Structure 1
């Protein structure tokens, strides 16, 4: 019964969204931008021409991009000087920026739990095992966990 209620709510929300999209004045200069990590679950009625006309795929960051994201998220952290960001990036294939941010946060927590002020590379490695490998193990969408 609970799933039925949730499904009805999703259907009502989808119908309202479609009604809103169909209600725009075609002469207006209105742009609608939507984003999803699960395009396979979108209702075809939503994605038909005239409603959402363009699909722009934003790929996951490549190796260099992931290394840069690690550097961005560790700028405000006290980390060891010799952290190998490329190694960390290699251990996080198909990870999003949000995934990498979670790894950095968890690495900081490893250091805090051990009453250290500096985050070590081992903290990052342990964090990757917890956050990324744990996500891959328990993910409901394993097809997104393909190594590149």
Structure 2
């Protein structure tokens, strides 16, 4: 069993200046702040579609949802670098890396596309099966017509 002295409280670990966890929390705060500021700099068409993924002293990485928006953002990257360098004294951004990261849609949320079923198509396939002289092809066409009418 541990003694009370060896057990540190979570608050002490987080608030201590030189711990890895406190540095991670600080970087997350900076990224959130940058994300908010960058969204105010960007055109309204990009609201919620661009996200700051990471930043170092000389590079910022931004994720964007589409290639079309990536092109538009490329045109404004110089302005973006200037504003970040003005706002943060520690940043000397020389490079903006933009990556396309589409919004992830869960498979369950995505509507399942069903092929269009037509009674006319099924009737045409049945007619072709009746006129077919090859018994194997006739059997396959009949199964296809049944599948068109009543999919699995």
TM-score, normalisation: structure 2: 0.20
Structure 1 or 2: more helix by fraction: 1
Bigger strand share: 2
* Structure possessing the higher relative contact order (Cα contacts under 8 Å, 6 or more residues apart): 1
